[in-house]
């Protein structure tokens, strides 16, 4: 097995790394401090083809492979996990299911909107009483002639109050549990679509998160995604892909924290020498390095599996679990390395530590990942 990126993948890494260093990193602290959606950055990412990069060329995308998509999220998240999150949600959770399950008419209509027309995408599954257990969802969709009527609400929706296109899951037959869930493509301008509470979060302050409300929301019949009653399978398959994006985001956070701590340790002098010269510091950096290398291999393996295998649930869950816990451990160790300086917002480590925590929660908690992994390896 050859562990080598293709020329195209290397070019993606180079382009996104340079963009991150020049456009993302300089405003990351201010984005976090003000909780402002980085609109110009996202518009530039559309212009460079990163937003919607996995969309086939015939629908306006770059036609990039899944590994290139993961690399882009990794590079962005080294400096700003919020930006990485916005891109991961748009690409994996909105464009992804349309590519995989949309009709030709749906692809021709919505994928160019999510690429050339620079419309932002989102994914609506979680509800107040339906987090890990999607069968508890109460949002309903009732067929009425040539349209469905949606009623209910979704919470913790990434890109919620800036998005234009939403993948929404609703009960078309509540008596059937998960077999009664259907998926829909919903536009923000549909009658009865409302944006609710804007969430104030511990981290990812630049990633817009909100409640989405449906009050007799009119959705055309042709916007049913896939087959009625098959939405749960679409949601779970989409989350498999999304977990690779979160693994890449968490990996990027870990790499960013590692670099910040190393740069600090090389210039911080105590007891007459840089703290990087002390063996206990060196052991910490050795452990960080090993974790990051392992996380990168797991993430890239999962991305390749998505492109080459019919099912990649195990690889995605493994990468997401390992990298999310890696991000939290690495950010904590990096902050400790910088002492009191790391605890202030003069340095990015306190932000990275706050941002890292969510990677163990969204798109399936670490506990859920362990359930998925054990279920796959034992059965």
Annotated catalytic residues are 363
- What dihedral angle (degrees, nearest 10) is formed by the CA atoms of 344, 350, 354, 360? -150
Neighbours of 325 (CB within 10 A): 19
Residue 192, Cβ density class (10 Å: 0-12 exposed, 13-18 middle, ≥19 buried): middle
Contacts of 172 (CB under 8 A, 6+ apart): 140, 141, 142, 143, 148, 180, 181, 182, 228, 229, 231
Q: Which residues pair with 282 in a beta bridge?
A: none
CA 153, chain centre distance (Å) = 21
Report the C-alpha gap between 289 and 308 in whole angstroms.
28
Q: How many CB atoms lie within 10 A of CB 58?
A: 11
């Amino acid at each position: 097995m050859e562990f080598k990126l293709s020329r195209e993948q290397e070019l993606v890494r180079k382009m996104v790394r340079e963009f991150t260093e020049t456009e993302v990193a300089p405003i990351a602290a201010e984005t976090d401090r003000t909780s402002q959606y980085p609109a110009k950055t996202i518009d530039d990412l559309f212009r460079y083809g990163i937003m919607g990069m996995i969309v086939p060329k015939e629908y306006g995308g770059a036609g990039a492979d899944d590994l290139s998509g993961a690399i882009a999220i990794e590079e962005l998240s080294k400096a700003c996990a919020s930006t990485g999150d916005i891109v991961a949600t748009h690409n994996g959770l909105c464009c992804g299911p349309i590519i995989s399950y949309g009709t030709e008419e749906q692809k021709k209509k919505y994928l160019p909107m999510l690429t050339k027309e620079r419309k932002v995408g989102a994914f609506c599954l979680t509800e107040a009483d339906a987090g890990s257990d999607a069968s508890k969802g109460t949002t309903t969709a009732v067929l009425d002639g040539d349209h469905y009527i949606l009623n209910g609400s979704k919470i913790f929706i990434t890109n919620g109050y800036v998005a234009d296109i939403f993948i929404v899951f609703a009960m078309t037959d509540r008596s059937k549990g998960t077999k009664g869930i259907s998926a829909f493509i919903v536009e923000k301008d549909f009658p009865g679509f409302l944006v609710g509470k804007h969430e104030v979060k511990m981290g990812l302050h630049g990633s817009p998160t909100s409640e989405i409300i449906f009050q007799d929301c009119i959705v055309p019949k042709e916007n049913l995604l896939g087959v009625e009653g098959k939405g749960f399978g679409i949601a779970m398959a989409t989350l498999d892909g999304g977990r690779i994006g979160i693994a890449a985001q968490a990996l990027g956070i870990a790499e960013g924290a590692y670099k910040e701590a190393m740069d600090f340790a090389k210039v911080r002098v105590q007891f007459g020498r840089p703290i990087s010269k002390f063996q206990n510091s060196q052991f910490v950096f050795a452990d960080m390095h090993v974790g990051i290398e392992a996380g990168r291999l797991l993430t890239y393996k999962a991305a390749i599996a998505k492109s080459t295998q019919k099912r990649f649930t195990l690889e995605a869950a493994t990468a997401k679990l390992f990298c999310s816990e890696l991000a939290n451990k690495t950010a904590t160790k990096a902050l400790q390395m910088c002492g009191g300086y790391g605890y202030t917002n003069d340095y990015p480590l306190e932000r990275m530590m706050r941002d890292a925590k969510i990677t163990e929660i969204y798109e399936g908690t670490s506990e859920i990942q362990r359930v998925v992994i054990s279920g796959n390896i034992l059965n």
